[in-house]
Amino acid sequence: MVEETQDAEEIIERVAALDVGKAELVCCARVPGGTPGRRAQEVQTYSTMTRSLLAMSDRLRELGVTRVVMEATSDYWKPPFYLLEAQGLQVWLVNARDVKHLPGRPKTDKLDAVWLCKVAERQMIRPSFVPPPEIRRLRDLTRYRIDLVVSCTAEKQRVEKLLEDAQIKLSVVASDIFGVSGREMMAALLAGERDPKVLAQMARGRLRAKLGMLEEAFTGYFTDHHAFLLAKMLARVDQISADVAELDAKIEAQIAPFARAIERLDEIPGVGPTAAHVLVSEIGLDMGRFPTPAHLASWARFAPTVAESAGKKKGKSSTGHGNPYLARVLGEIAVSAGRTDTFLGERYRRIARRRGKKKAIVAVGRSVLVIVWHLLCDPDVAFHDLGPDFYDTRINPDHKRRQHIRQLEALGYKVTLEPAA
Query: Residue ranges of the domains in the chain?
Result: 15-121, 135-256, 258-377
In this structure, the number of other CB atoms found within 10 A of the CB of residue 154 comes to: 11
Per-residue pLDDT at 7: 44
Find, among 341, 333, 339, the residue nearest to 368 by Cα.
333
What digits encode the pLDDT tens for the residues 67-103? 999 888 888 899 899 999 998 888 998 887 777 665 5
- DSSP state, residue 93: E
3-state class (DSSP) for residue 171: helix
- How far apart CA 305 and CA 172 sit, in angstroms, is 43
What digits encode the pLDDT tens for the residues 102-157? 555 677 888 888 888 888 888 888 888 888 889 999 999 999 999 999 999 999 99
State whether CATH 3.30.420.40 applies to domain 15-121.
yes
**pLDDT at position 305 over 90:** no
Find the mean pLDDT for residues 283-302. 88
Q: Where is average pLDDT lowest: 114-128, 178-192, 332-346, 352-366? A: 114-128
Q: Between 141 and 13, whose confidence is greater?
A: 141
3-state class (DSSP) for residue 78: helix
Q: Model pTM?
A: 0.81
Structure confidence at residue 341 as a pLDDT band (50, 70, 90): very high
What digits encode the pLDDT tens for the residues 179-219? 999 999 999 999 998 999 999 999 898 888 899 899 999 98
User: 18 phi and psi, to 5 degrees?
Assistant: -120, 135
Per-residue pLDDT at 6: 43
